[in-house]
Amino acid sequence: MPASTSLQSLHAMVWTALMASLIAVGSFLSIPLGPVPFSMQPFFVMLAGFLLGWPHGMIAALLFVTAGAIGMPVFVGGKSGLAALFGPTGGYLIGYILAAGTIGLLTQDRKPGWAIGLLAGLGGLGLIYVCGLLNLIRVLDIGWHKALTIGFLPFILQDLVKLAMAVGTWRIMHKRGLLPR
């Protein structure tokens, strides 16, 4: 393997681990609001997709979820384990993996722009919410109306702000030559 390829692989691994760690940090920046807490995780999940692209954004989110599933206290409230993964917020965690991958795929090798960033981020947020709401319905044995009331409405405006922050961060990092790819 040529030295430049080896260095690129190491670079990608370091950035992937960094973004997985930042997603975990986002879980500690949280406010409990019932079965679904407010946290900064979606910001870092979207940022991982924007900065790392496909497949590394998805791998960062998968690394975060795997760390929590095997017992590291990285989920909101210091939770971990399979019970947390299969509990009320588990669908959102699975949605994080899909969202980071989708955002990375849609923005890969594109110049950072507001339009593509917001569209890709909305797609990612849509996946997070669909997975999260379907799981809330399953775990709490509730209907769509109740799921939307506790798992969507309190969070959507805040998540749209996080999306704008993630796109803005992506654009600034691009302008300054700080993107990892």
> Residue 181: pLDDT above 70?
no
- The yes or no reply on domain 3-175 and CATH 1.10.287.130 is no
Question: What whole-number distance in Å separates Cα of residue 51 and Cα of residue 75?
Answer: 22
- What mean pLDDT comes out for the span 57-84? 96
In the chain, the percentage of residues whose pLDDT exceeds 70 is 98
Q: Taking the domains of the chain in order of start, what are their residue ranges?
A: 3-175
Question: What whole-number distance in Å separates Cα of residue 29 and Cα of residue 54?
Answer: 26
> Residue 3: pLDDT above 80?
no
